[in-house]
Structure 1
Amino acid sequence: MQVPSVMGLLEARESAARVRVEELRAETDRVRAELAEAEVVLERRVVALAELAEALVAGAVPQEGPAGTGSGRGEGARGRVGGPRVA
């Protein structure tokens, strides 16, 4: 029975460690890319929520206009939130 050399064992362990490091680097690259995509989605959601809050606050303030036109919360308020209406 042949006894493996210490040098051979250490080289095998080093090789296995190198393989593991490369696997983890690849995984890190994938996770970083996924994180960047998730951050973009989060930023869009934050902006959308802020814009909605602004629109709701703006719609809650009565609009000045001719007497008897209402509080400004009807069709006109929805048009402001969603932009101009196109027929």
Structure 2
Amino acid sequence: MASVLGLLEAKEPAAREAVERAREEVARIAAVLEEAERVLERLVIARKAVVEVLAEPAGQAVDVVEDKPVAAAVTGSPVPRQSGQLARAVLAPDYQRIISVLETEAAAGRDKVRAKNLALALGLEVVPAKIEGVRSRAKRLAERGWITGHQSGEFSAVTP
């Protein structure tokens, strides 16, 4: 009988560890779900606002909004399309730094830069997660006209 109890006691720590890992995974998934719910809520509010605006009669007077200086972006701000009239200050600091590195590299004669070298120049740890983060930001900048993305997966500053 003692050997059966011994076997059960031996298996108990592994079971406790599995339960703890599962709890951690549930907490992580709950955080992901919470963020997804926030995004959904913002989208629903935006859709309702657009529907309300579109439902207004076409001849209704619209208040004129005075031009105000553009505030500097903060981390997490969306990347606007570059129309040639936007200042770099509308971009979040991480995006501004990527453009600065590309301009510095271009001035040094290196027109095309890989994401790994961008991460290195930005002072980030050169690990896949950081490199992919930089690549994602650079692709977003390229898609919106702030930098040039090349077929080879390299990026360069936009030439004026």
User: SS state of the match for residue 65, structure 2?
Assistant: coil
Question: What TM-score, normalized by structure 1, do the two folds share?
Answer: 0.64
Deviations 1:49-71 (A, max 9, x none): 0000111111xx1426xxxxxxx
Which has the higher Rg, Structure 1 or Structure 2? 1
Which residue in the other structure is 2:30 paired with? 32
Whole-Å separation in 1 of the counterparts to 2:3 and 2:13? 15
2:67 partner letter: V
Whole-Å separation in 2 of the counterparts to 1:7 and 1:63? 83
1:84 aligns with 2:65: yes
Whole-Å separation in 1 of the counterparts to 2:7 and 2:66? 75
Return the match for 2:20 from 19, 22, 39.
22
**Structure that is richer in strand per residue:** 2
User: SS state of the match for residue 5, structure 1?
Assistant: helix
User: SS state of the match for residue 86, structure 1?
Assistant: coil
Counting aligned pairs with the same residue, the percent is 43
Structure 1 consecutive aligned stretches of length 4 or more whose deviation exceeds 6 Å: none
**Structure that is richer in helix per residue:** 1
1:22 partner letter: E
1:84 partner letter: V
User: SS state of the match for residue 63, structure 1?
Assistant: coil
Deviations 1:2-52 (A, max 9, x none): xx9212210122111101110011011111111111111000000000000
Unmatched 5+ stretches in structure 2: 69-160
Query: Paired residues, what number?
Result: 67
How far off is 1:84 after superposition? 2.3
